Amino acid sequence: MEYDVVIVGAGPAGLSTAIKLKQLDPNLSVCILEKGSEVGAHILSGNVFETRALDELIPKWKEEGAPVKTKVSKERFLFLGKNKSLSWPTWLLPSVQKNHKNYIISLANLCRWLAEQAEKLGIEIFPGFPASEVLYKEDGSIKGVATLDMGLDKEGNKKEGYQEGMELHAKVTVFAEGCRGHLGKQLIKKYNLDSGKNPQQYGIGFKEIWEVNDEQHEEGLVMHTAGWPLDNKTYGGSFVYHAEKKQIYIGYVIGLDYKNPYLSPFDEFQRFKTHKDIKKMLEGGKRIAFGARALIEGGIQSLPKMYMPGALLIGCDAGTLNMPKIKGSHTAMKSGIIAAETIVENIKNKKDLSIYEDKFKSSWVYKELYEARNVKPSFSWGLVLGIIYTGLDQIVFRGKLPFTMKHKHTDHEALRPANEMEKINYPKPDGKITFDKTSSVYLTGTNHTENQPVHLQLKDSNLPINYTLKKYDEPAQRYCPVGVYEVQNEKFVINSQNCIHCKTCDIKEPSQNITWVVPEGGGGPKYGNM
């Protein structure tokens, strides 16, 4: 199949690219491949949404019925101790952490709406078709992508209903897979896109949606916390967003540069909800959704070159999230808008795709990321010093200090041997406020076709037991949010059917022995309004 442009990923970056392309040139043929069963099925975000990029892309989005309705009306910031909390005056927060002009939304629903706008413009969207392979021309430039063969068993043999994958060729291919994209990871390595850049940094984010009673709900309230249950040396914090229909979006983010292999991010999130100031908002309510995903947090120091022969790498596939803002949707959308402008000039006027870099550097998204560049590295000094520095950097100097801090190591390199760290005993879930991994993965709607090739691949099948278990007490048992990895009778067990595609294992495994590849299309989580 031949197109002018093929886009991999129907998230905010990919959809914005497609829409802008057709706005600039209605005659362009554009298609989007999406691995989820539908647009939005794999989308998970907080999400307090800044409309800046949407304003540019579809100025009349309100009149067009965009699901962006609940305006932020109140903000709180709490420092949590184990039994107490300290409220921080919001007027002392940096401007990047103020949200009075923003909206509490479901990013999944926004993506579904953007997909509708794209289809009205003639863009073809193919949900359930994961791009599994990059195709190359003889000169080394990118020719397009191929989708995964469907209907293979675990040994790679054809089952009944086998369907061969498709090749999609394009003048330009856009990779917008989201954080830790499978193909994006390959391209960064092949073309040395991260040459001269700092190691990329990640976090793992959790989110639950709760339905609560009227008296517990303050529609439009945005609250963030720092501190307990994490210690001073572990980066992380929470969000609590009061959305419409008596729903609360509650979540937790932990930097994947943590040191202790006994730490379980999932259980830290559950423990956080037991704090008296958090628990009181949830008691008597009902948890109706759960999800988790990795977040890219390296910022501009870790941002790879975003162009290569025949292709662009955009959004969180590259790493455009603004960490101190706790937002990445608007920056991803803007990177897609710039991608579209670049592609039109490339196709019409034969301009090289390298002009993307100049366009990106002259945009407001680059300015945002530059001014935010020193916040994440400062937290390597600990929570307290990181917060103090962030206040000085963002409030006093507005991100314009004449130096750039470095990220010194990858997240998996931060993990220390188990015998050097203290075990963490987590309380049993009560089934009311706190829950186990099994009931949580059930809420994700995750499903994978039985007897398909395992998409969590080990480079060395002996390593988990012979090395990782002995040195790190096999941390995959704990860093995975849904219990995919277990050690049973001295065997390393992979329950790949539970995988919610968060990519944490691909990032945090201390020997980089686990590689996440795309499973059959339509599998994984099926998020509703996350």
- In 3D space, the residue among 233, 276, 278 whose CA is nearest the CA of residue 252 turns out to be 278
- Please say if the pLDDT value at position 63 is more than 90: yes
The pLDDT-based confidence of 312 (bands split at 50, 70, 90) is very high
**pLDDT given at position 265:** 98
Pairing of strands 311-313, 167-175: parallel
Query: For the segment 204-227, what is each residue's pLDDT rounded down to a tens digit?
Result: 999 999 999 999 999 999 999 999
Is-contact 365 320, C-beta < 8 A?
yes
As a whole number of angstroms, the distance between CA 486 and CA 494 comes to 7
pTM higher than 0.85, yes or no? yes
2-63+108-199+299-371 CATH, one of 3.30.70.1290, 1.25.40.10, 3.50.50.60, 3.20.20.140? 3.50.50.60
What is the reported pLDDT for 359?
A: 98
Angle at which helices 364-371 and 329-349 pack, to 10 degrees?
140
- For the residues 371-378, what does the mean pLDDT come to? 96
For the chain, give the mean pLDDT: 96
For residue 96, pLDDT over 90 is answered with no
| pLDDT in the model for residue 91 | 81
Return the pLDDT at 516. 97
Average pLDDT of the residues in 315-323: 97
Query: Cα 160 vs. chain centroid, distance in angstroms?
Result: 35
Sorted by sequence, the CB contacts under 8 Å of residue 396 that are 6+ apart come out as none
- Return the pLDDT at 248: 98
Would you say 244 and 282 are in contact if contact means Cβ atoms under 8 Å apart? no
Give CA–CA dist 265/255, Å, rounded.
Answer: 9
- Whether the pLDDT of residue 116 is over 90: the answer is yes
Q: Which helix (H) or strand (E) holds 479?
A: helix 476-479
Of 187, 217, 177, 185, residue with least CA distance to 74: 217
Task: Domain ranges for the chain, please list them.
Answer: 2-63+108-199+299-371
DSSP 109-142: HHHHHHHHHHHHTT-EEEET--EEEEEE-TTS-E
Q: Are 210 and 239 in contact (CB under 8 A)?
A: no
pLDDT value at 97 more than 90: no
125: Cβ–Cβ under 8 A, 6 or more apart, which residues? 10, 31, 32, 34, 39, 115, 118, 119
Asked whether 433 and 279 are in contact (CB, 8 A), the reply is: yes
Q: Could you tell me the two tokens for 353?
A: 């795709």
Q: Which residues have C-beta within 8 Å of that of residue 173, sequence separation ≥ 6? A: 5, 6, 7, 8, 134, 142, 143, 144, 145, 310, 311, 312
pLDDT, position 89: 86
Residue-wise pLDDT for 446-476, tens only, equals: 999 889 999 999 999 999 999 999 999 999 9
User: 3-class SS at 69?
Assistant: coil
